[in-house]
Structure 1
Amino acid sequence: MAGPTTAERGERQQESSGPPPARRWRRPRVRTIVILAVLVVLLSAGALWALYGSNWLRVERVSVSGTRVLTPADVREAASVPVGDPMISVDTDAIEARLRQKLPRIDTVDVVRSWPHGIGLRVTERTPVLLVRKAGNYVEVDHKGVRFATVSQAPKNVPLLELTASRSGSAAASFRRFGTDRLVREAVTVAGDLPAAVAQDTRTLQIRSYDAVSLELSGGRTVLWGSGENGRDKARVLTALMKAAPDARHFDVSVPTAPASSGS
């Protein structure tokens, strides 16, 4: 009888010897641990020194963008960015708060770090949609109803708001119920819904009561708008009405489903 082959003998030897022993994990030496710890401490200390102690990462310039009426110098002065201080220590929230407090004309502001030496101030100014006359000057009102600035000269193409309601009689109910601020916001809503061509041509926006808003356009033309409700429908109807009756002097869109024009 023939004996086992060479391959069979190899398989039997492997089965008898079992799997190879696993390689044992060796603990790092104490010296290696100490060296790594020292390196971490040195790197951390170096990073802190670079951020706070060195002259490499300090504020050297302040850039301003987005101004229209304000000047970059106005914004930089109000921001009071600590030039020379470490970039990492600049309180961007505090800068934003100072700008909002000192310059109400600013609607939004973004304070950003421009490494390694700059602070950027990106501002968006409020845009007036109405003017309120006050002691010979004009108070600018934005689309949120915020009265943000007083100017001596009226900006072009911004309507003047007139609250003409009497404090007695039936019109007084609007003042008692809504108050002046609410009526101003209502006027702002109407101004925002006006067609672009009409808005540029509007000279005065009058409010006699909450639901009696009217416009005075150039050339003595008038528009009875009514309340601020259904503003988009009224704007669309007014545009069509003006095209259909270009010589009319008076337009009524207070009820947009039944518009009227007269005085050609």
Structure 2
Amino acid sequence: MAGPSTAERGERQQESSGPPLVRRFGRRRLRVIIFMLLGSVLLGAGCVWVLYGSQWLRVGHVSVSGTTVLTPEQVREAADVPVGAPLISVDTDAIEAQLRRKLPRIDSVDAVRSWPDGIGLKVIERVPVLLVRKGSSYVEVDDDGVRFATVSEAPKGVPTLELSVSRPGSAAASLRRFGEDRLVREAVRVAGDLPAAVARETRSVKVLSYDDISLELTAGRSVAWGSGEHGGTKARTLTALMKAAPGARHFDVSVPTAPASVVS
């Protein structure tokens, strides 16, 4: 009787040796997976402890940059950053909102973590383009029309607003139609459109009506601006007009396509 063929003997050998190898490799793979899971858990726990439990990454100082009128001390006090707290737990969005609420002079602020132990506050302050008299004080207004601070002394180079809406006629009609806030915004719009050289010489912005805004400059000069519309064109026209007639006392750019100047 013939014995098993070579192919049959190979199949029987694979059948007899296969399962133990599979089991052996399976156990090794399981151990590797378990070790990897344990390592991940330990690594995660270590990271959590370093970030929240250790003394290495805690707030130790608060730096302030970008201030001009405000002092760094004022900003730090208003921010009230929790010194000693884990740096990762500091709510930078809440700090930014709190600074804007407590210090209206701040236009924008960026609170950033400065690893390993600092918080940086990058501040941009509002810049006044117009002043509104309030008794013996002045309210500063920025180019967005935001009234953000009251000061006892007028900052140099910032014109004051003269809102002559108490007069009868067109002034009263403009007040009824547009409201005082709208007229103030138009004055702010004009002040924001002024060329830098003219802005430095502007003492006041006078509003008689929505369409009748004028400027009082140094040396007794004046400018009829008209409405706040086409501010960029009026600014360029005024610059050219003042260069062409340096001795003029009055300039009219209310219609920028037909400007005029008067010497005396």
User: Residue 97 of structure 2 aligns to which amino acid in structure 1?
Assistant: A
Alpha-carbon distance in 2 for matches of 1:202, 1:41: 68
Instruction: Mark the runs of 5 or more structure 1 residues left unpaired by the alignment.
Output: 1-20
Q: Secondary structure at the match of 1:37?
A: helix
Residue 125 (1) aligns with residue 120 (2)? no
1:69 and 2:98 correspond: no
Partner residue, 1:33: 33
Report the counterpart of residue 4 of structure 1 in structure 2.
Answer: none
* Separation in 2, partners of 1:36, 1:245: 84
Partners of 1:192 and 1:198 lie apart in 2 by 11
Q: How far apart are the structure 2 equivalents of 1:263 and 1:85?
A: 68
CA RMSD of aligned residues (A): 1.9
- Deviation sequence 1:4-39 (CA, Å, 0-9, x none): xxxxxxxxxxxxxxxxx9xx9843443333222211
Q: State the Cα distance separating 1:243 from its structure 2 match.
A: 1.7
Give the distance between the partners of 2:160 and 2:231, measured in 1 at CA: 19
Contact 2:164 2:171 (C-alpha < 8 Å) held by counterparts? no
* Equivalent residues in 2 for 1:201-240, closer than 5 Å: 201-240=201-240
Distance in structure 2 (CA, Å) of the matches to 1:200 and 1:109: 28
AA in 1 matched with 2:193: D
Which letter does structure 1 place at the counterpart of 2:217? Answer: L
Report how far residue 167 of structure 1 moved: 5.8
Task: Using the aligned pairs only, state the percent identity.
Answer: 71
Classify the secondary structure of the residue corresponding to 1:200: helix
Q: SS where residue 179 of structure 2 aligns?
A: helix
The whole-number CA distance in structure 1 between the counterparts of 2:32 and 2:263 is 97
In 2, are the aligned partners of 1:167 and 1:175 still within 8 Å (CA)? no
Q: Which amino acid aligns with 1:70?
A: L
**Correspondences of 1:1-264 after superposition (within 5 Å):** 26-27=25-26, 28-166=28-166, 168-264=168-264
Which secondary structure state, in structure 2, belongs to the residue aligned with residue 138 of structure 1? strand
More displaced 10-residue stretch of structure 1: 97-106 or 36-45 = 36-45
Q: CA deviation at 1:210?
A: 0.6
TM-aligned CA deviation for residue 216 of structure 1: 0.3
Query: Which structure is higher in helix share?
Result: 2
Q: Deviations for 1:213-262, whole angstroms, at most 9, x for unmatched residues?
A: 00000111111000011111111111121122221111111111111111
How many Å separate the matches in 1 of 2:72 and 2:32? 56
The residue identity in structure 1 corresponding to 2:157 is N
TM-score using structure 2 length: 0.88
What TM-score does the superposition give when structure 1 sets the normalisation length? 0.88
Structure 2 gap ranges (5+): 1-13, 15-20
